[in-house]
Amino acid sequence: GAGVSQSPRYKVAKRGQDVALRCDPISGHVSLFWYQQALGQGPEFLTYFQNEAQLDKSGLPSDRFFAERPEGSVSTLKIQRTQQEDSAVYLCASSLSAPTNNEQYFGPGTRLTVT
Amino acid sequence: QKEVEQDPGPLSVPEGAIVSLNCTYSNSAFQYFMWYRQYSRKGPELLMYTYSSGNKEDGRFTAQVDKSSKYISLFIRDSQPSDSATYLCAGRGNTDKLIFGTGTRLQVFP
């Protein structure tokens, strides 16, 4: 079946621009996660949704970062007034339900470059 | 200090070798441990996860956890060039998020 999809795959933004990154989880998956992966590093947690509820946003680095999942399926990660340090790959992952959050399935990521 | 430490490599081995990939962690709350494989410009792919201490085998892959020493290992038998990738270990404690190491880059040459 279809895996997690993300769009766009690549995004170049000028410093100060706003960007929106989209994640389509696996159909029926209740849990959705966003991670940020800097070059040469492992993914770092940003935020977690269970259905439409954002249960954990402790990893969002600043109030310029905002995520939503209004209908409990597709999610959008928005970054306002992008800075160069926001350049990274943004990964979305989903899992079937909270008890199976050990099995997180990742999308291909969106590579954001801020110039 | 990072919660999960991993040697970035690269680790270069000949085809057919047994590969040992290792991580250490500091968070005593970790109960679940995962190994992901990540090819260049792709998302991480879950290989396997284990609960608490012990071994788990899946085909050519064996994951091992020693909670007493906070040490996680992944062994790959009969390594193939297609195993060339970055291997990420991760731990999970009382929350739903995964804490990853930096990843070890593995190169298997023919």
A4 touches chain B (CB under 8 A): yes
* 8 A C-beta contact, residue A82 and residue A16: yes
Domain boundaries, chain B: 4-109
Q: Which residues of A touch B90 (CB under 8 A)?
A: 42
8 Å CB contact of B6 and A42? yes
User: What pLDDT does residue A80 have?
Assistant: 98
Best to test chain B binding among A31, A104, A105 (most B CBs inside 10 Å): A104
CA distance A85 to chain B (A): 18
Give the C-alpha distances (Å, rounded to integers) separating A49 from A21, A55, A101, B17, B61. Answer: 16, 6, 11, 41, 31
Domain spans of chain A?
5-114
- Quick check: B104 and B7 in contact, CB under 8 A? yes
Among A101, A102, A103, the residue to mutate for chain B (most B Cβ within 10 A) = A102
Residues B41 and B59 sit within 8 Å (Cβ to Cβ): no
Report whether A65 contacts A78 (CB < 8 A).
yes
- Classify residue A70 as left (phi > 0), alpha (psi -120 to 50) or beta: alpha
Phi first, then psi: give them for residue B81, nearest 5 degrees.
Answer: -55, -30
Answer whether A109 touches B (CB < 8 Å).
yes
Tokens matching residue A42? 């492992």
Nearest-CB residue to B43 (from A31, A98, A108): A108
Q: What is the pLDDT of residues A24-51, one digit of tens each?
A: 999 999 999 999 999 999 999 999 999 9
- B2, pLDDT greater than 90: no
pLDDT of residue A1: 57
CATH T-level assignment (fold) for domain A5-114: Immunoglobulin-like (2.60.40)
- Mutant choice from B42, B94, B97 vs A, greatest count of A C-beta within 10 A: B97
Give kind and range of the element (H or E) at residue A46: strand A44-50
Does residue A42 sit at the B interface (CB-CB below 8 Å)?
Answer: yes
A85 by DSSP, 3-state: which?
helix
Q: Which chain A residues are closer than 8 Å to B97 by Cβ?
A: 33, 45, 48, 56, 59
Minimum Cα–Cα distance from A40: chain B residue: B102
**In a structure prediction context, what are the per-residue pLDDT tens digits for chain A, which is 115 residues long?**
589 999 999 999 999 999 999 999 999 999 999 999 999 999 999 999 999 999 999 999 999 999 999 999 999 999 999 999 999 999 999 999 877 788 899 999 999 999 9
Contact list, B30 vs chain A (CB under 8 Å): none
What homologous superfamily is domain B4-109 in, according to CATH? Immunoglobulins (2.60.40.10)
Is A25's Cβ below 8 Å from some Cβ in B?
no
pLDDT tens-place string over residues B66-95: 999 999 999 999 999 999 999 999 999 888
State residue A102's pLDDT score: 82
Q: Give pLDDT, residue A74.
A: 98
